[in-house]
């Protein structure tokens, strides 16, 4: 199959500046590149060392691959054709191990792929669909095949609600759905396969829309996804989640980050089990915040008034 008429439609999260973190490189580090260097679907860093004529590689050690439909820890690629047809490449590094369309008719184009996540906890990524009517639908995947599918047992969700992201907010190894309303309100669906196990808004006022959810990661290493916010002014803010509740919230101990710096990725670059924040400047400069949630002191509360609580 030639995928030239397909659109790449896999959804990946894009997911506080602490004091500068030094990473050992060779002599005379001259330039930095970002890319998936080991084929695990996660962005890594490579530093070219001018003096020693070698390259230092910092691997992103997030535990689970994104878009892994066959559970082999290698990220796969999800395609969709203009006709609505879905197609999957099961990847193995740079190679395609297997490819094919699920045994399913083309999906009408009023259905959109919103995200992927493992909603039933079988380690295979599943596909989250949404209809123009607001209806939500899930394909539980097993490699190239659909193991189960169905509408989530819930009325159609009004279109002023948007699927913001997918993460495991309650730590049961099943992906949950993070919603946001045009008015700023945040809402969670804790999923169990095709069913909603629990749902609700955190005990928090709607967050003003000048605050944007940049992505999710586990910044404190409790295996529950947390939410990374950024304000139009550049201020960064964290919600550390425990199911439907915010167990802690704070701004990292850092001034607002100028808006010519963009959050490029969220991933565990130092392998300590806590997600870190990879920044990139308009100039191309790359910068890393190695995160450490409370109580270790990197994320402090005096900036709370600047945060999204209203």
118 binds Ca ion (CB under 5 A): yes
Residue 21: count other Cβ atoms within 10 Å of its Cβ.
13
Question: Closest CB to Ca ion among 211 and 219?
Answer: 219
Residue 72 interacting with Ca ion (CB under 5 A): yes
Q: Which run of H or of E encompasses 261?
A: strand 261-267
Minimum distance from residue 82 beta carbon to Ca ion (Å): 25
Least separation in angstroms between residue 40's CB and Ca ion is 10
One-letter-per-residue 3-state SS of 114-169: EEEECCCCCCCCEEEEEECCCCEEEEEEECCEEEEEEECCCCCCCCCEEEEEEECC
d(CA 151, CA 53): 56
Q: Does 192 bind Ca ion (CB under 5 A)?
A: no
3-state helix, strand, coil in the chain (%, to 5): 5, 45, 55
Task: Specify the residue, 48 or 222, whose C-beta has the smaller distance to Ca ion.
Answer: 222
CB of 138 to Ca ion, least distance (A): 9
User: What's the closest the beta carbon of residue 207 comes to Ca ion, in angstroms?
Assistant: 19
First to last CA, the chain: 52
C-beta of 47 vs 68, nearer to Ca ion? 68
Q: Are strands 29-35 and 44-49 parallel, antiparallel or unpaired?
A: antiparallel
62 contributes a contact to Ca ion by CB under 5 A: no
Binding of Ca ion by 218 (CB under 5 A):
yes
Strands (E), 168-260: 176-181, 186-192, 195-200, 211-217, 226-231, 236-242, 245-252
How many residues bind Ca ion, per CB under 5 A?
20
Decide: 225 and 169 in contact? Cβ < 8 Å. yes
170 belongs to the binding site for Ca ion (CB under 5 A): yes
For residue 36, state whether it binds Ca ion (rule: CB under 5 A): no
Does 13 sit near Ca ion (CB under 5 A)?
no
CB of 198 to Ca ion, least distance (A): 9
The interface region with Ca ion, picked from 49-57, 113-121, 156-164, 245-253 by CB under 5 A, is 113-121
Check residue 44 for interaction with Ca ion (CB under 5 A): no
Q: Among 36, 122, 149, 199, which residue sits at the site for Ca ion (rule: CB under 5 A)?
A: 122
Element of type H or E holding 222? none
Q: Which residues bind Ca ion (CB under 5 A)?
A: 68, 70, 72, 74, 76, 118, 120, 122, 124, 126, 168, 170, 172, 174, 176, 218, 220, 222, 224, 226
């Amino acid at each position: 199959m030639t995928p030239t008429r397909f659109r790449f439609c896999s959804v990946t999260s894009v997911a506080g500046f602490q004091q500068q973190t030094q990473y050992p490189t060779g002599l005379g580090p001259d330039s930095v590149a970002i890319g998936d260097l080991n084929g695990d679907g996660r962005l890594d860093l490579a530093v070219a060392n001018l003096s020693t004529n070698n390259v230092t590689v910092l691997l992103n050690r997030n535990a689970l691959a994104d878009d892994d439909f066959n559970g082999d820890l290698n990220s796969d690629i999800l395609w969709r054709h203009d006709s609505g047809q879905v197609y999957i490449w099961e990847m193995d590094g740079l190679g395609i191990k297997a490819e094919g369309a699920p045994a399913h008719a083309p999906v009408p184009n009023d259905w959109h792929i919103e995200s992927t996540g493992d909603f039933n906890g079988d380690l295979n990524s599943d596909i989250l669909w949404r209809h123009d009517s607001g209806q939500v639908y899930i394909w539980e995947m097993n490699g190239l095949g659909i193991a189960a599918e169905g509408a989530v047992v819930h009325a159609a969700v009004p279109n002023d609600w948007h699927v913001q992201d997918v993460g495991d907010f309650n730590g049961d190894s099943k992906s949950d759905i993070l919603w946001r309303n045009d008015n700023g309100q945040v809402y969670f669906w804790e999923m169990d396969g095709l069913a909603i196990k629990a749902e609700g808004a955190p005990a928090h006022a709607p967050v003003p829309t000048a605050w944007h959810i940049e992505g999710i990661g586990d910044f404190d290493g409790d295996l529950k996804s947390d939410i990374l916010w950024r304000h139009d002014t550049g201020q960064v803010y964290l919600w550390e989640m425990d199911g439907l509740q915010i167990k802690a919230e704070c701004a990292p101990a850092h001034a607002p980050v100028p808006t010519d710096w963009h959050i490029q990725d969220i991933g565990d670059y130092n392998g300590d089990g806590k997600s870190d924040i990879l920044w990139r400047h308009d100039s191309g400069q790359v910068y890393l915040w190695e995160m450490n949630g409370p109580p270790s002191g990197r994320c402090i509360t005096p900036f709370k008034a600047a945060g999204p609580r209203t």
